[in-house]
Amino acid sequence: MDLVMTLLIAAVAFGWFIWLWRQKRRFKAATSWPVAEAIIETGTIESVAAVKGSKVQLPVFAFSYLVSGEYYSGRFALMPYITDPGESLVKRMIGRKLEVHYDPVKPQTWLIADELIEGCKVEQKSRPGLFGFYPSD
């Protein structure tokens, strides 16, 4: 029985390692996509899904970008990391420009390559990692 349990744990750990490796590989490939200038249109504090079904209040921003004459949009959250961004973060971010990488085959698929903005960790679905604090679409 101990051998079976050991093999099961090893298989789960191996599967997790492969999943994380593939996520990092996809992220690295996405950083070579073309870049478009995006403008943050709106920002608000939202409840964002966290670990085990709990929620955390984070600033969430919506942005738009233009590719070949067509507009696309996305949303990301900022998680306090280095500094406490304070209440004014949402106001400071509206109208701010940032670079987004977009998939040339599916321009609606995007990536913000910056790890930090205003001392906060950028949370988005395409970022590799175990836990994600990104907003729902």
**CATH for 38:** 2.40.50
Residue with tokens 């490939």: 29
The string over 89-121, giving b where at least 16 C-beta atoms fall within 10 Å of a residue's C-beta and e elsewhere, is bbeebeeeebebbbeeeebeebbbbeeebbebb
In a domain, 89, yes or no: yes
How many structural domains compose the chain? Answer: 1
In a domain, 118, yes or no: yes
C-beta separation of 85 from 120 below 8 A: yes
| pTM greater than 0.85 | no
In a domain, 8, yes or no: no
In a domain, 55, yes or no: yes
Domain that holds residue 80: 31-123
In this prediction, residue 131 carries a pLDDT of 45
In a domain, 5, yes or no: no
Residues with pLDDT less than 70, the chain: 1, 10, 13-14, 16-17, 19-23, 27, 50-52, 82-87, 126-137
In this prediction, residue 128 carries a pLDDT of 46
